[in-house]
Amino acid sequence: MFWERFHALCTEAGKTPNAVAKELGLSSATTSQWKRRGSSPSAKTLAKLSAYFGVSADDLIGGKSGPLVTHEKGTKIGVLSSVGAGIPLEAVDVFDQDDPDAWEEITSDLARGGEFFALRIKGDSMLPRIRRGDVVIVRKQETVEEGECAIVLVNGNEGVCKRIHYRDDGIALLSNNEEYPPLVFTKQQIRDMPVRIVGKVEEIRGKP
């Protein structure tokens, strides 16, 4: 049942279901429906939860534990150590196929849904779900929905992995790790610095 799996993932992350819902832009009434009526989230909400917890939609609905793992033969994409204004994302297409740390494989179905790159996480701002050394699979796109996890370039510096919260006066980049305060930018700063979304995190792949 979805609620039991969702509640277990929240507990593992050290957060309450309502706290996670708030971070993703959902109401407490929504989580109450999941609990009391045994209902499941919409496809759109399920995608947000999958990205947040780093598990597949099937894992959430079916109750299977563990990170999202792709078993079928698919498309190889290069793993970047960083993303920055001076680093063309097209460079991700060139990598050493004999080095297993240089690439990740995604399903053919996923690959048909857009252009992708993989990024190795450096810091701990997205703990507990995304750890230093983990790899995120990112779809290249310039916009994401409220609460979704994205790779963002700020002022031409290296890209950061953050959850997106839209404000009336701008945008806030949120960390999962509460030790890191939100990065808040006005609409003027977004234009002038600039602050630019370069992709949406579709999968989180834990690494030893």
The pLDDT of residue 134 = 92
Name the pTM for this structure: 0.65
Residue from 162, 187, 200, 207 carrying the catalytic annotation: 162
The count of C-alpha atoms lying within 13 angstroms of the C-alpha of 148, restricted to the half-sphere facing its C-beta, is 23
Contact (CB, 8 A) for 170 and 190: yes
Out of 50, 56, 125, 175, which one is annotated catalytic?
A: 125
Domain(s) of CATH 2.10.109.10: residues in the chain: 75-205
Is 82 known to be catalytic? Answer: no
| Superfamily of domain 75-205 in the CATH hierarchy | Umud Fragment, subunit A (2.10.109.10)
The Cα–Cα gap between 151 and 161 comes to 5
Residue 202 tokens read as 């579709």
pLDDT tens track, the chain, 208 positions: 788 888 888 888 888 998 888 888 888 888 888 888 777 888 778 888 888 887 777 778 764 444 444 445 688 888 988 775 444 454 444 455 667 778 899 988 888 899 999 999 988 999 988 999 999 999 999 999 999 999 999 987 778 999 999 999 999 999 999 999 999 999 999 999 999 999 999 999 988 7
* Alpha-carbon distances, residue 156 vs 62, 81, 202 (angstroms): 42, 16, 23
Please tell me the CATH code under which domain 2-62 is placed. Answer: 1.10.260.40
The CATH 1.10.260.40 domain(s) of the chain lie at 2-62
Q: What percentage of the chain carries pLDDT values higher than 70?
A: 86
Q: Would you call 125 a catalytic residue per the annotation?
A: yes
